[in-house]
Amino acid sequence: MTSPLVAPAAEEAPIVIAVENVSKRFIIHQDKSIKDRLLHPNRTRKHAEDFWALRDLSINIDAGNTIGLIGPNGSGKSTLLKVIGGILAPTSGRVLHRGRIAALLELGAGFHQDLTGRENVYLNASILGVSKEETDARFDEIVEFSGIEKFIDTQVKFYSSGMYVRLAFSVAVHCNPDILLVDEVLAVGDEPFQNKCLNKIREFQEEGRTIIMVTHNLSQVTDFCTRALVLGQGNVIYDGAPDDAVAILREGFRTIEEASVVRERLERERAREEEAANRHALGKITDIRTMPSRTPMHPGDDLEVEVDLEVARDFERWNLGISLTNGLKQMVLMTTTSRANPNYEPINAGQHTIRFALPGLILPRGEYTVSAAFFDETHFEVHRLDDAGAFLAETDDRSAGMQYTPAAVTVS
């Protein structure tokens, strides 16, 4: 059973729940096959089989964390939560905890069917260790939060599942728990109530309380949890960052080995992203200016493009490309420093302006923009700036399309 942790921990966030080598066995009774029954008619119709819902789990949970327990159906989430809450005894191992636990587990658990909502509030609160006087003081708040004032004196057997959850959640959160255990039950409430509960959970987080939630709503895990455990066949197959836990679950992995393959891949991806972010920080295109020899431009006019570049280190080899795009988002021309001048110089850390001269452009009528991208020695795109420096081109309409030419015609 769950027992109080004895020695207070010295570190800042003490361990409030310690699951130590917990296993849970259920005995499943199954009907025997027809053959078995014919061969042994006098024996019982059922045979018992051991089923291990939890297999030697050890988990420490620090105060102030919000833990998401996720995993496929039947992976042991609810069983683990019940063992932590002291509702189920582990077959072996033990759970230690510090502080008051409020558990919102199975629908209606802890509620007595023949008692009214009011009576159940007192019953539930007393199970959570709250005195009658304290419950008296909080009663109105509990009922108001639940939003079921009209039914508070009705026997709970007439409640809808949503009404149960409203009252049970309200009692649990108003009993000042240090640790709140929430099973999927919240999904039963309507959306406004779910939001109210989630806001309450946020409040609890800010107050430094510990929350463990079982949910199939994976966005709740990434939005709310500071840590997530993925269970698979009674084992913890992942314990760590909520984003990774969700990725592992989404990819359908069920064993520790399979999950570790994904974890390694995620770590590699993260390292690559980090490296890319570091490299992106090395250069920035801050401005692009276009200077046509005439505005609007006419066929045969020259265009100058200036790109302001700021780099955080020296670059021996580098490249900067510009492209002209028309109003249909088609690239009509591109060039780079390496194309325009294969012998261009290295650049030092600091500010630079790169000038491109584009003489004698013959552009169809329309609006154009310029994009620029800066590449390092490995051709990695450090930074790009799209669709800056707009300018207009004008023609005498002697031709149309992707090209302009001053078309002439004779008829013979």
- If one counts every other C-beta atom within 10 angstroms of the C-beta of residue 319, the result is 18
> Of 185 and 320, which has the nearer Cβ to ligand ATP?
185
Q: Is 26 in the site for ligand ATP (CB under 6 A)?
A: yes
Whose tokens are 């009509």? That residue is 332
> Of 79 and 326, which has the nearer Cβ to ligand ATP?
79
- If one counts every other C-beta atom within 10 angstroms of the C-beta of residue 172, the result is 24
Q: Is 53 in the site for ligand ATP (CB under 6 A)?
A: yes
Residue 61 near residue 218, CB atoms below 8 Å: no
| CA distances (Å), origin 10, targets 20, 37, 206, 207, 371 | 20, 61, 22, 20, 57
Going by C-alpha positions, the residue among 67, 80, 93, 56 that lies closest to residue 13 is 67
Q: Is 97 in the site for ligand ATP (CB under 6 A)?
A: no
Residue 336 near residue 285, CB atoms below 8 Å: no
Q: Is 158 in the site for ligand ATP (CB under 6 A)?
A: no
Task: Tell me the site size for ligand ATP, rule CB under 6 A.
Answer: 12
Q: Is 303 in the site for ligand ATP (CB under 6 A)?
A: no
Q: Is 28 in the site for ligand ATP (CB under 6 A)?
A: yes
Name which position in 74, 162, 300, 366 contacts ligand ATP (CB under 6 A). Answer: 74
Q: Least CB distance from residue 69 to ligand ATP, whole Å?
A: 8
CA–CA distance, 75 with 234 (Å, rounded to integer) = 5
Q: Is 75 in the site for ligand ATP (CB under 6 A)?
A: yes
Name which position in 78, 210, 220, 371 contacts ligand ATP (CB under 6 A). Answer: 78
> Of 26 and 158, which has the nearer Cβ to ligand ATP?
26
Q: Which stretch binds ligand ATP (CB under 6 A): 1-9, 77-85, 272-280, 337-345?
A: 77-85
Name which position in 71, 177, 364, 389 contacts ligand ATP (CB under 6 A). Answer: 71
Q: How many helices (H) and strands (E) does the chain have?
A: 10, 17
Q: Give Cβ neighbours of residue 178 (< 8 Å, ≥ 6 apart).
A: 16, 63, 98, 99, 100, 101, 209, 210
Interacting residue ranges for ligand ATP, rule: CB under 6 A: 26, 28, 51, 53, 71, 73-79
